[in-house]
Structures are given as C-alpha cells and as structure tokens.
Amino acid sequence: MIRRAVAFLWPLWLAGMASAAPLPSLPWKECLRQPAVWYGGPEARRIADNLLLYQLDCGGWPKHVNMAAPLTPEERAKLSRQKGDQSNATIDNGATYTQLRFLALIYGATREPRFHAAFCRGLEFLLTTQYANGGWPQFPYREGYYRHITFNDDAMIGVMDLLREVARGAAPYNFLDGARRAQSAKAVEKGIECILDCQVIVNGKRTVWCAQHDEVTLAPAPARSYELVSLSGSESVGIVCFLMGVEPPPPRVLEAIHAAVAWFDQARLTGLKLVRETDSSKPKGYDLVVVADRKADPLWGRFYEIDTRRPFFCGRDGVKKYRLADIEHERRVGYSWYTSAPAKLLAEDYPAWQAKWSPGRSVLSAR
C-alpha cells in the first residue's frame, strides 16, 4: 500500500517542484511589451527595483545592461557603491528614457512612491542636461565627442518623444503635476528649434542632418573614428518623423520637412542589393557584399558626403572609402551602412502628412 501511494504521489511531487522552479528572467528589451496587468505583478516590481539600483545619483542610467536579470547580493552592493559615478549616465542606445517609460507603467499599476520618486529624478536629469540651444549630449558628464548634440541611434529623438508624451499628459504620464508637464513642453520647444537650426544647408538649400552636431556651433561633427562628418540617411528619418508630429506645424517645420523629404527622394540608391554571404573563413562566418540588382528595392546610405551627396564608408582607420568592400571585415559586418527606413517615409508617412498639412504641395518626384 505504501509503495502504491509513493508511486501515485511521486509524479505529483515532481510536477510541484517543476512549477515551483524559478521561471527564466524576462529580457530587458521585452519589458515594455507586456500586457497592462503584468506591470502590477511581482516580476515587474522586481525589475523596477533593479532599475532603482542601476539609477545613478544624477538621475540617469547607464547603457548596455540587462536590467531585468536577477541580481546577487554582491551585485546589489556593487551597484550601490557605484551610484556616484555619473560619467556612465547616458541617452545612448535607449538608456534613461527607456527606463523612464518602464517606471511610468510600473507606477501607474502600483502607485508605490519609490517608483514615482525615481521617475521624477530621471526626468529632472533629462531636463537639466539639455543645452541652452535645445540639444542633448550623448553623455553629459564626459568630454570629447560625447558632448556633441547626438541624433545618432535616435538618442535625442528618443528623449524628445518621451518629453512630448509627458507634456501632453496622456497615460501613463498623467500622474505628473502641471509644473513638470510645462517644463517638458518647454524642453520640446527648445529641442525643435535646435533641430531646425542644425538642418544642414548646401548651396542655399536645406537638406538633412548629421548624426552629431557641435554643441556650440551646431555644425556637423564627427564621433568615433569611422563616423565622419556627413549627411545621415538613417538618423534623419527619425528626425523628420518627429517633426511630422508637431501639430499644427509652423512654417519653419513645414519647410524643414519638405526639404528633408526632397533630399531623401534624390538620395535613394537603386540597382543594388546588400547580400549576406556565408563565408566560413570570416570570424562571424559570413560577409556582406553589395551586388547589382535592377529589381532591388531602393536603399539609402548611412553616410553621405555633404557637398556631393555621395555615399561613403569608413573603417577604424578613419579613411573614407566609396566601396563597402574596401573597409575591414569587422566594420563591414559590424555597422549598419545601408538602410531602407526612408522608403516608408516617402511612400506612406510623408504623403499622409502632406495631404493633411500641406495639400497641393508635394516634393516627391514622379516615378
């Protein structure tokens, strides 16, 4: 009888142990994509408490961290000791404004004061690190190119998207007081003026933007050795899309959008395709090759020469090249040299915006 009971209970015990085992941690990049009810649960609270540990005393956050991963007591103690190191506070690669979006959802679901306080410290970091000219640096407490006004990887646009939502007071930011909303609205206004002032003019015509601009002169500026002064076929898309959200658009915004779209229309690259080819002799097992293809969808270069509108590439040696094949393999496959993002801008976003705000005027060429 005992054996039969054990035989019966053993599978149930195993099932109970399996259900009690800790579930895999949700990756940080998935934390803004959960159903609303999840943000009031224990896993969301645990991750939010991680964010409070990673938040630096200045209010910002570092980048390249899986903030959802469980922390050991030793790791928690180390993070507490490092809070005073503000040099790692950044808006690069989604840092800080992504954490604020998460905390707003958590506070909306829990109403726990510590999450409100952390959000307000982070918001204050964004407001106080904005330059008087309206731009934001990538790393406000570092020297060198980190201090440039940074559109690269949508850093400044990511901040401004958040602040515009805060200013409008829509959920999940409707818990903020009128003063913080007004401050955010003012920061967005200054940011828009900076964007318009940075738009590069070539032969009297407005074009698009560089990925970085000098924080004093607003001139296009270089960053890493392979990121030379250029017109950006990638970051400029996000800038135009942000400007399209200014309603109603004043004349300067109208002209900036039309000019940038006209530039994109003229800068498209046709008849070529970027192909990933298996190559076991390469460190990553593949290479990227540009091939001729008359039927390929249009592409745009990441970098264009300002005066010639000629796409170019660059390796870590800082020497400009005009063929992707001419830079080292590590940079060839380790950076986004081509983009298709302007295609949707030209085919969908601009026509819809133009029909609403500038009927009768389209800068797109007939194709």
Catalytic residue among 76, 111, 168, 224: 224
- Which residue carries 């983009």 as its tokens? 339
Instruction: Give buried/exposed letters for 250-262 (b at 16+ CB in 10 A, else e).
Output: eebbbebbbbbbb
Would you say 166 and 184 are in contact if contact means Cβ atoms under 8 Å apart?
yes
Instruction: Give buried/exposed letters for 267-286 (b at 16+ CB in 10 A, else e).
Output: bbeeeeebeeeeeeeeeeee
CA angle at residue 213 from 211 to 216, to 5 degrees? Answer: 165
Nearest C-alpha neighbor of 42 from the set 50, 54, 30, 33: 50
66 is catalytic: no
Q: Rounded to whole angstroms, how far apart are CA atoms 18 and 20?
A: 5
Instruction: Compute the residue count for the chain.
Output: 367
Task: Check whether the bond before 113 is cis (ω within 30° of 0).
Answer: no
Q: Rounded to whole angstroms, how far apart are CA atoms 79 and 94?
A: 20
Q: For residue 269, what are its two tokens?
A: 């690259």
Q: Rounded to whole angstroms, how far apart are CA atoms 136 and 87?
A: 15
361 is catalytic: no
Q: For residue 81, what are its two tokens?
A: 């000791």
Catalytic residue among 45, 93, 133, 331: 93
Would you say 194 and 217 are in contact if contact means Cβ atoms under 8 Å apart?
no
Give the residue numbers marked as catalytic.
93, 224
